[in-house]
Structure 1
């Protein structure tokens, strides 16, 4: 700031004196925010980085604030430091540096995952079991002894039936996040579109030549290729008919020595037991009526 002083006497003579005042800003911006941060936490409780506000009475423009984070964590420490630094700069280049150090204790969080595969389903990509946010560059580790995996690929043909455990670990703010995957290898590989509810079993056999109910039939599973064994009993518990790989061709004929005439069983109520091989369906039993009407 330049100031000019002019001095005059009674005769109008004047004299001037010039003085220059220099105002220099040598103080950095002042912190307005309250820095309320912990000095020690576990890794899952590391707080969010706060936004700090500064002011500078000598600057015409807003204060510039830059944030920087450094850490001493290399992936192996159980305890490490996070250092947060805010640098506030005014128009004149003066700085105010605020630094806070947080001492962090690491933890390992485990998330269980499960899956099952048939031994004949082919190669298993373990990465398919991870959440979408996971990093496919991190390697899986086989916990179960004697198991080999290459680039996350597990071959079930190389192992016995049973459970196999693998782990996948990521780092997040120093916290270890481990996914523990258990895969069950089984041999239930063939799933046929047939079940007990699909079965259609005759309730009556009337071999009278009218083309209705001429034979005792077990239907509804023809497309599955099951082998059907049947036994038919009379009310006394005697087997009156038996067939392995039954072809829906019994029409009330009795085997040699059975009660009846002309090779035909008498009218009445009989009982069947049906065993559908390799279907997963338990043996079925029930009554059927045999008559000529």
Structure 2
């Protein structure tokens, strides 16, 4: 339980980077600017290439170039700050990320970075933006699909172990991302707005978020378990559809959703699931039980 709270805090806190010299590496897909000595910008850019390639092969498009700004923190916490820029000749998308010096490329920090970059790609692919997107489950499913293999294995094991606690697909297809509904997230967003206006310091922001986390530890733990199930179920269903229906269906599903067609209608149009999401859920659950 405590670990879930720690992970949530690490994902939300934006810590100030220490002083350091920036190094710069640019490829056709990524520009990496980093204050870290290890891993190098070249190594980070190379490590991110599979993220670009996976998306390109899955959706048949060239994902946009992304600038990745890496800062080093003493605590090693990681946070995302994604945005869009219009600098001439530069990447149109930017993401700020914090790591510890010497952070391993095969660790969770860089798996999370791939997750966030996939979000950037998919938002552009779907022509969507903002905090809440329609079909939130699909956005998280695509992002989780781009994580490193250990993380994906952990999510697959999570949903196998908690299949009886799954979210009904009819609900999953229409619900908002529960993480973004969290009071913790709302508090963090509000504090960052105050920070941007110069009303509070970074230390005060961190103090208030930490105080909230300490006083709501049990609640955050319960919600953390529910959130993990939401993410694991979303990516599991996505990978089931990818395996059984294929890339062409995934692309058409996305186009239909972008046109405003509901997942219920999309599912019922498939010969295998004329009775809708409940029939799909039964087939997916059977796949989860037998899929190693």
TM-score relative to the length of structure 1: 0.16
Q: Which has the higher strand share?
A: 1
Bigger relative contact order, structure 1 or 2, given CA contacts below 8 A and separation 6+?
Answer: 2
Larger gyration radius, structure 1 or structure 2: 1
Q: Which has the higher helix share?
A: 2
TM-score relative to the length of structure 2: 0.16
